[in-house]
Amino acid sequence: MTDAQKITIDGKEYDLASLTDEAKNQLMNIRVADQKIASAQQDLAVLQTARNAYARALAEALPKVNQ
C-alpha cells in the first residue's frame, strides 16, 4: 500500500491527487518561480562578488594621495 503524495499549503495538508488541474498548474507556477528566484539569487551573489573585486582593483589602481 502506497501513501498518496501530500503537500502542505498555509499549514493545511492536501493530497496532490485531490487538487484540481488549476491548483496543480498554480503549484507548478510557484515551483518554477521559486527556481527562478533561487537562480537569480545565485546570479546576484556572483555579481556582488565581481563588483567587490572590481572595487578592490580600482582602489589599487588609483594614485596614492597623501592625507
Of 57 and 1, more confident: 57
Q: Is residue 9 domain-resident? A: no
Q: Is residue 3 domain-resident? A: no
Portion of the chain with pLDDT greater than 70, in percent: 96
pLDDT exceeds cutoff 60 at 18 = yes
pLDDT, tens digit, for every residue of 25-48?
999 999 999 999 999 999 999 999
State whether residue 13 is helix, strand or coil.
strand
pLDDT the model gives residue 2: 58
Q: How far apart are CA 9 and CA 20, in angstroms?
A: 15
Domain span including residue 47: 19-61
Average pLDDT for the chain: 94
pTM: 0.75
Q: How far apart are CA 9 and CA 61, in angstroms?
A: 53
Q: Is residue 67 domain-resident? A: no
Q: How far is CA 9 from CA 3, 21, 30, in A?
A: 18, 16, 12
